[in-house]
Structure 1
Amino acid sequence: MNTDVNSKEKAQNTDETTHFGFRDVAKGDKEKLVGEVFTSVASKYDIMNDMMSAGIHRIWKRHFVGTSGIHKGNKVLDLAGGTGDIAKLMMPLIGQTGHVIIGDINQAMLDVGNDRMIDAGFMGRFECVQMNAEALPFEDNTFDAITMAFGLRNVTDKQQALNEMERVLKPGGKAMVLEFSEVKNELMSKLYDFYSFKILPEIGQFIAGDKASYQYLVESIRKHPNQETLKSMFEKAGMAMCEYENLSGGMVAIHRGYKI
C-alpha cells in the first residue's frame, strides 16, 4: 500500500518538475529562471561565447548557416536568436526578397539583436518578436526554414518546441538545431568536463560578474539530450530524413529534419 502511494507521488513529482541545470524545479518556474539568466548575461553574451569557446562558436555558426540550404526569398524563423548573430549570417543568403523573424523568449536579448541588425543596415528585412518556442504565434505552414542555435537546451518542454517547429514549417521546409551535445572521445570528454566546471564559471565571474548564470549554462549542456535521443525527438515530431552532424568531436551537433 505504501509502495503504491510512494510510486504515485514520485510519478506526479516527475510530471510537475523539470531540471534547471542540475537542480529540479517546478516546470512553471523554469521559464522565469532561464529568463533571469539571459537578462543577466545579455550585454556580455557574445563576448562570453568568444571567451568560453576560444572563438570556435563563430566557426560552428558559420557552418550551421552555410549548410542550411536557405536561399533567396526564403522566410525564416530563427528561434532563440536574441543577439542576432545567426540572422546576420543569413542575410546574404535570403537576399533582398527574403525575411527573417528573430524569435526569443527574452526581451533583453532581442533588444541587443534588434540594435545590431539595424546598425548592420538590415532594416525592413527582419523583425524581432518575443515568443515562447513551445507555443509559436504563427499559423501552420508559414516558414521555409527554422533555425535554433544554442537555445533548445533552455526550453522546458523540448518535444513540444520541436512539435511547434514542424507545425509552422511549410511542407518540404527544414528545421535545424545547433546545440551542445555528447563528446565521444573519452579523454576529450574529461578535459571538456574540467574546463566546463572548473574554468568557465570563473570566467563568467570575471567577465560578466555572474558565476551562477554560467554555472547553469554548463549544467544545462550536460542535461541536454544526446545526439541519438534528439534525433528520435525530431522523428517523434513528425519530421522526415532526420540526421545529425557532429562538430568538434561531438561537442556540438547540428540536427536537421524536414516537414513532409
Structure 2
Amino acid sequence: SYYAQFVHQQNMLQDTVRTSMYHQAIIANGPNAFRGKTVVDVGAGSGILSYFAVQAGAEKVYAVEASGMAKNIRKMVDAAPVSNPWMKGRVDVVAAKVEEAEIPRVDTLISEPIGVLLVHERMLESYLYARDNFLKPGGTMIPSTGTIFLAPFTDATLWTQTMAKVRFWEQSNFYGVNFATPLSTPPRTQIDLPSHSLTLRNGQPVVGNFDSRILLAPSCSHFVDFQTVTSLELQDITIPISWSVPFTGKGLVAEGLILGPFLRVRPRVI
C-alpha cells in the first residue's frame, strides 16, 4: 500500500515543519501528558511519533498501524536494546486498523490525522474512534484542534496551466478527432449567489506552497475541536464565506479559493 512504502514515509519525515512541530509539542507536554503514561499512536506510519512519546517519558506506547509498515516498526522495536536502548520494552506494535484493535484505555492519544483541507484521507474518523474507545476520561489528544482557512486568490500562471488542462476536452481537431461534443464537455459547477449565478469549469485541486501576497482578502475559517466533534459532523461541513475584494478591472480576477488548513501543532501544557 501507499503508506507501506519507505519513499512516502521518508517524504513525511523530511517535512521538517511537520516533524519538528510534533516533536516540540510532544516533548513540551512530556511532564503532564507522557511521563509515566500510556499512549496510543493512531496510524503510526514510520513510528516516529511513538518514538517521540517514549522520549517524552511514556511508560507504554501502542503503535497502531494497518499497513505493511507495521513490520518495520517492529524491527525497530526488536533492535531497540542495541540501537535505541532508551526505547526497550516501551513500544508495542499493533498491526491492525484502529477500529479492529484491542487496546486498553490510555492516558494520551497522538496521531498525524490531518489531510489536505483537514479531512482529506479520512484519518480524522479513525482518530475520533480511538478517542471514543481507547482514551480515558480527561485524557490528552495531540493534536487537539484544527482549523480550515479559505480565501480568494489570483494567480495568472496557475490559471493558464489549469485551464489548458480543462480545455483539452474542448478540442475540435485532436489528430482528426473532435472532442468538442456535449458528451465530452467537461462538467461544470453551478453556484447560486444572492445576485446572480456562476457557472464554473471544474478544474483540479492544486496542493502546494504559495506566496501570501496572492490572497485578495482576509481568510474565513472553520474551527474543529477534535475532543468534541463527532464523525457524523465531519461528513457535512458548512463554512459561511463572505469577502470584500478591493480590486476592479479585468487585469486582476479572483480565480479560486485557497483551501487550508494552515494547521499548527501547538504545545499544550496542561
Closer, same or farther in 2 for the Cα pair 1:161/1:46, shift >3 Å?
closer
Structure 1 counterpart SS, 2:103 = coil
2:190 maps to none
Deviation of 1:181 (Å): 5.8
Segments of 5+ residues of structure 2 without an aligned counterpart are 163-203, 209-219, 232-259
1:4-53 deviations in Å (ceiling 9; x for gaps): xxxxxxxxxxxxxxxxxxxxxxxxxxxxxxxx2213xx2123431355x4
Closer, same or farther in 2 for the Cα pair 1:184/1:50, shift >3 Å?
farther
Q: Distance in 1 between matches of 2:222 and 2:97?
A: 25
Q: Distance in 2 between matches of 1:85 and 1:133?
A: 17
More helix per residue: 1 or 2? 1
1:138 maps to 103
Of all paired residues, the percent bearing the same amino acid is 12
Deviation of 1:254 (Å): 3.8
Structure 1 counterpart SS, 2:143 = strand
Deviation of 1:61 (Å): 1.5
- Count of aligned positions: 174
Q: Are 1:179 and 1:253, in contact at CA under 8 Å, matched by a contact in 2?
A: no
In the TM superposition, what are the counterparts of 1:86-235 in structure 2 within 5 Å?
Answer: 86-94=49-57, 98-107=59-68, 109-117=69-77, 118=80, 119-121=83-85, 122-139=87-104, 142-150=105-113, 153=119, 156=122, 158-159=124-125, 161-177=127-143, 182-183=148-149, 228=222, 230-231=224-225, 234-235=228-229
Q: Distance in 2 between matches of 1:120 and 1:168?
A: 28
Q: Which amino acid aligns with 1:171?
A: P
What TM-score, normalized by structure 2, do the two folds share? 0.50
Q: Distance in 1 between matches of 2:73 and 2:90?
A: 13
Q: Are 2:35 and 2:56, in contact at CA under 8 Å, matched by a contact in 1?
A: yes
Q: Which amino acid aligns with 1:94?
A: G
In the TM superposition, what are the counterparts of 1:35-54 in structure 2 within 5 Å?
Answer: 36-39=1-4, 42-49=5-12, 53=15
Q: Are 1:70 and 1:94, in contact at CA under 8 Å, matched by a contact in 2?
A: no
**Structure (1 or 2) with the larger CA radius of gyration:** 2
Q: Are 2:38 and 2:108, in contact at CA under 8 Å, matched by a contact in 1?
A: yes
1:172-228 deviations in Å (ceiling 9; x for gaps): 2122238986356766x97xxx7xx99xxxxxxxxxxxxxxxx99x59xxxxxx974
Closer, same or farther in 2 for the Cα pair 1:160/1:92, shift >3 Å?
closer
What TM-score, normalized by structure 1, do the two folds share? 0.52
RMSD between aligned residues: 4.2
Segments of 5+ residues of structure 1 without an aligned counterpart are 1-35, 199-214, 220-225, 238-248
Q: Which amino acid aligns with 1:81?
A: A
Q: Are 2:145 and 2:224, in contact at CA under 8 Å, matched by a contact in 1?
A: no
Closer, same or farther in 2 for the Cα pair 1:233/1:88, shift >3 Å?
closer
1:243 maps to none
2:37 is equivalent to residue 74 of structure 1: yes
Q: Distance in 1 between matches of 2:113 and 2:56?
A: 21
Closer, same or farther in 2 for the Cα pair 1:154/1:124, shift >3 Å?
farther
Q: Distance in 1 between matches of 2:265 and 2:100?
A: 23
Q: Are 1:78 and 1:147, in contact at CA under 8 Å, matched by a contact in 2?
A: yes
